Amino acid sequence: MRVWRGSSHFRFFLNFFFLKLLSLSHSGQPGLIQQTLGVKYIMYTASTSDGLHLPPVIFTSDYLPDFDDPKGRYTDKDGNAAYLHYIPNISSPSSQTTIMWLHDMRDERAPMLENGCTLLLDQAGWHKKEEVVQEFEDAEIEVVLLPAKTGKWLDPQDQSFHRELRRKFVALMAQRGGLKLDKILQAYWTMHDKVVTSSWKQTGFLKKHYEEHLRKVAA
């Protein structure tokens, strides 16, 4: 694991998004979606520089009695998929949830993270925990930590992706009926790949002479 110093292969970016039922805003920190008092959803999202957004991984304290898939594979009635994990009293991301995200992304049924890929992360403390670092090393995934306080410029998910995601989610929440969880997934899976690619382009990672741009941002 290293702090960014310049690399030629930036492919994957893991990020968290923050949604609140009333104020729907982004903080670059874990996603909290209030459903009822004391119930939270934390959602991990990831995108690739070629325009793909990977299945989200959702951790919630909202117990769903009818959901019992041992691998956490959840699909709504429209076929929108996610990995869903019930964790009582969960309040924020942790080394545990990050490791679970990694395991889900390397699901033997449909592995999405390849050995040798580069994963960009922010400087959250749980990303630097010994057990998390070891898991990424065992998976042969290169982790690059972005410089502190540069997410506004270097985080693809902080660009148009989250703005469009929030817009879709608010519109769906204005409609009566349906599970909030399913509306989250509907908003996520109706995001166009062009929005993802545009978000990456705005960071400067895909420019021919990107290193000079990133040096200026990091400074």
Mean pLDDT on 2-6? 44
Q: Could you read off the pLDDT of 38-61 as tens digits, one per residue? A: 678 888 888 887 777 888 899 988
Domain CATH number, residue 19: 3.30.420.10
Quick: pLDDT tens for 107-158: 877 667 776 778 888 888 888 999 999 999 998 888 888 777 776 777 777 7
What is the rounded CA–CA span in Å between residue 89 and residue 77? 27
Task: For residue 159, give the amino acid letter.
Answer: Q
- Of the candidates 11, 56, 4, 13, the residue with the CA atom closest to the CA atom of residue 184: 56
| Region of residue 206 (phi > 0: left; psi between -120 and 50: alpha; otherwise: beta) | alpha
pLDDT score of 213 more than 70? no
pLDDT at res. 47: 82
Of residues 25 and 175, more confidence is placed in: 175
Our count of domains for the chain comes to 1
Output the CA–CA distances (angstroms, integers) from residue 100 to 70, 149, 177, 184, in the order listed: 13, 26, 31, 20
Q: What's the N-to-C CA distance of the chain in angstroms?
A: 21
Q: Higher-confidence residue: 22 or 183?
A: 183
Q: Please check the confidence at residue 182 and state whether its pLDDT lies above 50.
A: yes
Range of the domain at 147: 2-218
